[in-house]
């Protein structure tokens, strides 16, 4: 097989901004684009191959046809025909709802065998003063949680983090969180669209009606543990691979390149997803070359043996695979 690009799926959302289209070089009259689903196996939102002999094929069709050659043998044994990651860019003009996602066990029990949602954020851009919410600042009981949602004080016990480009947050299932206004995020997550909306500031949706909240469903999904630090700490470096997150669902690294960088893929038995955060260059995969630029996402099939990342002048990338 060969590297694949997909048509982005643009989502118009009440809190969406106007940065995604120009960031990705897309011309569109669509407004309030909150999310660009770069690579999705979510049913009803399956990504479609953009170009080449497989143009028009969905990611679900590709996984069904090529199986382990596309996603990795151990990945296919675990997740079957469903592509296991959902890759997004998110632009928040205003605050998203406060939310939480169930783990695999709870999602399977409540939602017909669905997967839970563990995810991570990489801050691509942030306006001055922009912040995120992630985790609790004090221990609360499920009963106190419900009372605080009812009286609008739930934000008083949520950890607020001012952010800048390059910040990383790992969000295991069960952690209360919210992306807030002014943040532009790259998100890697399990293939799941299950979100329990806890609190939405009384906001109306694009249809003019209050958006549904899931206070009771969320009560049993929340991890009420208080942690010392909710950020993912790492030391930035040029021209080397910096692993920032490793969990059962994905392993993600940052590559900030000014020089070519080669990587052996033969031992990982997994696809590799590459998101270009800035700059441009090319990917040389088993003798085949494909260009990549800011805002583009490329899928490298699992049967690839080696890759060389070649920046033009500079190129910052996120890479993700399943260990």
Per DSSP, the residues of 199-213 read: E-TT-B-TTSSBPP-
Same domain, 274 and 313: yes
Same domain, 16 and 133: yes
CA distance 81 to 103: 21
Q: Would you state the pLDDT for residue 263?
A: 97
Same domain, 164 and 313: no
**Residues with Cβ < 8 Å from 162, sequence gap 6 or more?**
129, 130, 131
Choosing from 186, 219, 252, the residue where a domain stops is 219
Q: Would you state the pLDDT for residue 241?
A: 98
pLDDT at 251 over 80: yes
Residue 254 placed within a domain:
yes
* Mean pLDDT confidence for 159-177: 98
CB atoms within 10 A of CB 94: 15
Residue 229 placed within a domain:
no
CA distance 121 to 138: 23
pLDDT at 40 over 80: yes
| Residue ranges making up the domain that contains 162 | 4-219
**Residues with Cβ < 8 Å from 157, sequence gap 6 or more?**
136, 137, 138, 140, 148
Alpha-carbon torsion, ordered 160, 165, 170, 173, to 10 deg: 70
pLDDT interval class at 170 (50, 70, 90): very high
- 188-205 residue pLDDT tens: 999 998 999 998 887 877
Using DSSP's 3-state secondary structure scheme, residue 109 falls into helix
Same domain, 212 and 247: no
**Angle in degrees, CA 73, 74, 80, rounded to 5:** 80
pLDDT at 305 over 90: yes
Same domain, 71 and 18: yes
pLDDT at 103 over 90: yes
* Mean pLDDT confidence for 273-296: 97
**Residues with Cβ < 8 Å from 42, sequence gap 6 or more?**
86, 191, 192, 193
* Sign for the pseudo-dihedral over CA of 25, 30, 34, 38: negative
Q: Would you state the pLDDT for residue 212?
A: 85
Residue 198 placed within a domain:
yes
pLDDT at 155 over 90: yes
Q: Would you state the pLDDT for residue 205?
A: 77
Question: Which residue stretches of 100-239 are H helix?
Answer: 104-110, 142-151, 215-219
Mean pLDDT in the chain? Answer: 96
Same domain, 105 and 212: yes
Using DSSP's 3-state secondary structure scheme, residue 129 falls into coil
* Mean pLDDT confidence for 207-236: 93
Which of the residue ranges 43-47, 112-116, 123-127, 256-260 would you say has the lowest mean pLDDT? 112-116
Q: Would you state the pLDDT for residue 19?
A: 96
pLDDT at 17 over 80: yes
DSSP letter, residue 305 = -
Residue 99 placed within a domain:
yes
* Mean pLDDT confidence for 89-109: 96
* Mean pLDDT confidence for 105-121: 95
Same domain, 189 and 277: no
pLDDT interval class at 90 (50, 70, 90): very high
Residue 227 placed within a domain:
no
pLDDT interval class at 31 (50, 70, 90): confident
Residue 77 placed within a domain:
yes
CATH classification at residue 310: 2.60.120.10
Same domain, 147 and 267: no
Same domain, 199 and 272: no
Alpha-carbon distances, residue 183 vs 56, 136, 165, 301 (angstroms): 32, 20, 9, 31
Q: Is 197 a catalytic residue?
A: yes
**Buried residues in 161-178 as b, exposed as e (16+ CB within 10 A):** bebeeebbbbbebbbbbb
Residue 228 placed within a domain:
no
Q: Which of 110, 127, 160, 197 does the annotation list as catalytic?
A: 197
Same domain, 302 and 201: no
Same domain, 210 and 295: no
Q: Would you state the pLDDT for residue 211?
A: 82
**Residues with Cβ < 8 Å from 233, sequence gap 6 or more?**
none
Count the helices and strands in the chain (H runs, E runs).
7, 19
**Residues with Cβ < 8 Å from 234, sequence gap 6 or more?**
168, 242, 244, 254
CA distance 298 to 275: 7
Count of the separate structural domains present in the chain: 2
pLDDT interval class at 208 (50, 70, 90): confident
Same domain, 164 and 110: yes
Q: Which residue has the higher pLDDT, 233 or 113?
A: 233
Residue 101 placed within a domain:
yes
Residues 26 and 33 sit within 8 Å (Cβ to Cβ)? no
């Amino acid at each position: 097989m060969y590297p694949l690009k997909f048509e982005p799926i643009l989502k118009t959302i009440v809190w969406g901004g106007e940065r995604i289209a120009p960031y990705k070089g897309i011309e569109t009259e669509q407004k309030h684009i909150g999310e660009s689903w770069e690579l999705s196996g979510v049913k009803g939102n399956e990504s479609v191959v953009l170009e080449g002999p497989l143009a028009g094929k969905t990611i679900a069709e590709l996984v069904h046809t090529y199986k382990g050659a596309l996603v990795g043998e151990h990945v296919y044994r675990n997740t079957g025909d469903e592509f296991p990651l959902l890759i997004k860019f998110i632009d928040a003009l205003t605050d998203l709802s406060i939310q939480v996602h169930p783990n695999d066990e709870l999602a399977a029990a409540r939602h017909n065998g669905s997967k839970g949602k563990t995810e991570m954020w990489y801050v691509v851009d942030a306006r001055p003063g922009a912040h995120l919410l992630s985790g609790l600042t004090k221990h609360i009981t499920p009963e106190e949680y419900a009372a605080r949602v009812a009286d609008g004080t739930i934000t008083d016990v949520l950890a607020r983090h001012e952010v800048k480009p390059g910040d990383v947050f790992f969000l295991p299932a069960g952690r209360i969180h919210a992306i807030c206004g002014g943040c532009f995020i790259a998100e890697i997550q399990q293939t799941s669209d299950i979100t329990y909306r806890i609190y939405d500031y009384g906001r109306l949706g694009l249809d003019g009606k209050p958006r549904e909240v899931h206070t009771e469903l969320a009560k049993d999904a929340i991890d009420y543990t208080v942690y010392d630090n909710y950020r993912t700490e790492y030391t930035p470096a040029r021209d080397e691979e910096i692993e920032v997150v490793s969990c059962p669902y994905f392993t993600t690294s940052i590559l900030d390149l000014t020089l070519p960088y080669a990587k052996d893929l033969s031992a990982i038995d997994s696809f590799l997803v590459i998101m270009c955060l800035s700059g441009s260059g090319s990917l040389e995969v088993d003798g085949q070359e494909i260009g990549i630029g800011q805002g583009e996402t490329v899928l490298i099939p699992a049967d690839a043996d080696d890759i060389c990342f070649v920046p033009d002048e500079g190129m910052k990338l996120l890479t993700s695979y399943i260990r």
